[in-house]
A and B are shown apart, each in its own frame.
Chain A
Amino acid sequence: MSTVVQLNDLTKRYIMTTALSDVTLDVSEGHIVGLLGPNGSGKTTLMKILAALVSPTSGSVLIDGLVPGVATRAIVSFLPDVNHLDRWMTVAEAGDFYADFYRDFDRKRFQELLNIMGLSMRQKIGSLSRGMVEKARLCLVFGRRARLYILDEPFGGLDPLARGQVLEALVANFRTDCSMILSTQMVSDVERFFDDVIFLNKGCVVLAGVAENLRTERGTSIEGIYREVYGHVEAR
């Protein structure tokens, strides 16, 4: 099995804070990785580095053997944690926009995803509810046949029913020749989809492993481990 992402001693410092320090980890092909941690633990910074939007201070990042940049943007499909679509666009226009930018965008797939999510091409982004915008954004991101999907809080504005639809779309579209990294606070809803989990705290990896092995070793759910890990950290 090949490795899609390789991080080695990755560090990101801002003027006043260290967002990531000495993060070393691999993501295997065909795996869904849960990136977990409280607010401010460095999840978004890590994802932005993988999306080639933020450059690291030191250490190395390789995606399919490439340093993040123009070449990796072509194979990485990123869902930022804030709405990145213009309000004046229709869903169809947002699709055109993606098709212009990314060669791996598959219009047929995009249409199928819109059907699953109950959206239509004619709707205007500005007229959609927050949950519907989230769904439209996910359709665009999954509409690409990318090598790596990076989803920052993909379930943020969604009700439980919509979360189910998104998870269904996620399983239906997941392929063995890609990988996915997703961050979420809804650990219990999503933990059954993780192959591996990474727990971040204050920019450091405090625990990482195969989800099923962690359940066996610790005799509890990933959410339970989350409570153990961060309850302990907070108590210190």
Chain B
Amino acid sequence: MEFDDRTPIYTQIMDLIRRQIASGELKAGQQLPSVRDLAQQVLVNPNTVQKAYIELEREGYVATQRGTGTFVCGDAGSVEELRRRLAGEAVHSYVTQMRSLGYGGEEMAAMVLAAAGEEQ
């Protein structure tokens, strides 16, 4: 995985896992890889992965069971809420960029619809 070294690595790992939860790639009750396995997979310091897991646990996305591992928590409602939040962030960043290029709301909407149509 490619990281941007200009921002903390643990927050990037948190984003990655949150995204996988929102998309359903990681489901409630599913076990996350062990700290060491994930550190080896993405080639970062194990303490950094540990920190990401602790922060995700504080936010309530995962829970660590002593001795067995870290699991995804959450019901469908909170997953949907997370999904909406991430979508909101994506929309916000799109709108900001398009505004700076001088596009108005209707033009943006038309372009989004056209692009989404093309991909189908």
Contact = CB atoms under 8 A, between A and B. Distances in A.
Interface of A is mostly: helix
Interface string A41-56: 0000000000000000
A211 to B, nearest CB: 8
Given A168-B40, A171-B36, A172-B40, A192 B6 contact: no
Question: Most chain-B Cβ atoms within 10 A of its Cβ — which of A164, A171, A219?
Answer: A171
Contacts of B8: 212, 215-216
B59 interface: no
B44 A193 contact: yes
A64 interface: no
A8 B80 CA distance: 54
A128 interface: no
B3 A192 contact: yes
Contacts of A222: 5
B39 A221 contact: no
A142 interface: no
B5 A192 contact: yes
Contacts, number: 55
Interface in A169-218: 171-172, 174, 188, 191-195, 212, 215-216
B74 interface: no
Interface of A: 30-32, 164, 167-168, 171-172, 174, 188, 191-195, 212, 215-216, 219-224
Interface of B: 3, 5-10, 36, 39-40, 43-48, 51
21 contacts: A30-B47, A32-B45, A171-B44, A172-B40, A174-B46, A188-B5, A191-B5, A192-B5, A192-B9, A192-B43, A193-B45, A194-B45, A212-B8, A212-B51, A215-B5, A215-B8, A216-B7, A219-B7, A221-B5, A222-B5, A224-B6
